[in-house]
Chains A and B, each alone.
Chain A
Amino acid sequence: MSFFKKLKDKFSGSQEQEQTAEKYTEGLKKSRSGFSEKMNNLFARYRKIDEDFFEELEEILIGADVGFDTVMELIDELKMEVKRRNTNEPEALREIITEKFVEIYAGEGETSSELNIQDGLSVILFVGVNGVGKTTTIGKLAHQFKSEGKKVMLAAGDTFRAGAIEQLEVWGERTGVDVIKQAEGSDPAAVMYDAVRAAKSRGADILLCDTAGRLQNKVNLMNELQKVKRVIEREIPDAPHEVLLVVDATTGQNALVQAKTFKEATDVSGIILTKLDGTAKGGIVLAIRKELGVPVKFVGLGEKMDDLQPFDAEKYAYGLFAQAFEQREAEPEEETAE
């Protein structure tokens, strides 16, 4: 059975499955129309695989912000595969590419998008550079946990940016969860201390900790973040149960540096890729995954409260290639036969 078919079958089971698959297809509309249109175009124009073909493919992948080294490796692997299969039919590559995408992603290390949620209190710390959508993501997650019947609390750890505390408070009101805060400009570590204490004494299940956005090359600010994490660790030995790095999907190669530096400083356990709807292709997650082995846990596919979806590499690939896949479905099978 073809790889696409397997993917499709996978998502045409239960209604719920179809719904999330649809969200991916819908949310990735723009990414897809750019990416997959270009792919289709490429496959339509080339009758045989040659250097020019690979060069164009390289450009499409680079255009999707897939890390540079990753693209180079991918192209090399594809070239080998072409040799191995002794083919020069572009069509044969189409599936291999999708497979490779999923393969890179499923590579080494943890791939599960499940969060580490324990009985009793689970603490999740959110980190990232400025303007990636940490606070919004926390709002969306609070909504999700709440609707699962969990007692959620929020910690307003961004005491630096003007209006950040109020922003989190609005989310607290919307979702009906308590926000622990102090005045703007106070020590974020102190806020965390308070929040963990309060969450413990009020018997919360989930504590979502916001932090101020910081560029990863600011040593002092990264130290501050480590301190915040230490305070949480001291209060609850296994905490934070997750440290999630929020990354803007429109970010280019710098996302790799972000992932690396934040991982060193706070031992990031997962990535949330925001703003994947609309314009971004978010190809950089492939590079991050490959270089650092940190799994993507969630993707932001829109502005609504339930637009945060657990990441699934196969669904992602399916979303990206769905159009191409459906077109092929419609075509008679004979076309590729010898």
Chain B
Amino acid sequence: MNSEKDLDKFRIIVSDWIEKNYPAELRQAPGADGQDPRQSKPYEQAWLRHMAEQGLLAPTWPKEYGGAGFSADQARILAQEQRRAKVRAIPISAGLSLLGPVLLEHGTPEQKQQHLAKIARDEIFWCQGYSEPGSGSDLASLSTRAELVGDEFVVNGQKIWTSHADDADWMFCLVRTDPDASKHEGISFLLIDMKTPGISVSPIRLISGPSAFCQTFFDDVRVPKESLMGHLGQGWTLAKQLLQHERQALGSIGRGDARRALTLPELAAQEMGTDDQGHIANSGIRNQVAQCELDSLALRTTMSRSADEARAGQSGGHIASMLKLYGSELTNRRHELMISMRGTDGIGWEGPGFTPAALRTTRQWLRAKGNSIEGGTNEIQRNVIAKRVLDLPE
């Protein structure tokens, strides 16, 4: 525990550091004034490297694994100060936010040595091999087979929705190691080098256009048995733990993003006009904007409560499912509202005649449809809440 006084001092140090190091080029919102958001890429990269050198991408990890060794309180202050300074959100990296925490807890010393620091420095890129064409919501029915032959697992099968698999260096992957065991107990967790012969990847085009999603095929892929995380048959337990992190990360999308070019009320004022008191002119739209803003505030407040409970040693339980469920529905509502506010400017697909910002709204509206599906559909989240939190009978 840090004393209040220490934390106040810490806050000043952190805020000074951000002030000194955050690139001026990023202080403008992406897409503001019609600027191409890709132009700021190099600055984003530089900022990310800078953060990584200080261990700030994984603030609570031990220093020996590339983290900053911060306490939970210190990490919270870092996040608060970043938000206050309107620092752009770091894209959710599967290595940092999903695999890392589980690897810290369950990895062998060799695995931790090999991977953690590289994850913390954002040097290797991970993808997630969970879903299969025949195993979506019923993930535990997965059939990608890993057979232990000598010192190696031989992997055959197919994964889908493997984000960034075409760029990824490694994949954490659920495989069936015991086809005779019950469906949950026959699953193991493998760390697979994507350069291994026999792996092929093809990208998936979505309703919103090109995407990071891929299909990944395994054809007699040989993986050393040291790549097993946890023990044989423990894969489902680890997978569930990791899904919690994923749901939390997905839920946090709904609380609103400081780097959005325009806030929802600003966009509404721009598109619908304002009355002589400065209020959004269309009262129906204004009411919906108020509902969305109010719901984001409620979601943020519940997230702070959940963090406060965790600090006080009162675990909120399966709060992750709730945040994912609520956050993704809120994101969808926001995008529905945004596209309806833009009118015919918001139905463009590409090219001239539409502003880059309006085109982004359209694509984001389409992409948001996936938020209530990925990471376990919202129907699955409701099942989880009913079972684990409300203790309703099966």
Q: A and B, one complex? A: no
Residues of chain A touching chain B, judged by Cβ–Cβ distance below 8 Å, are none
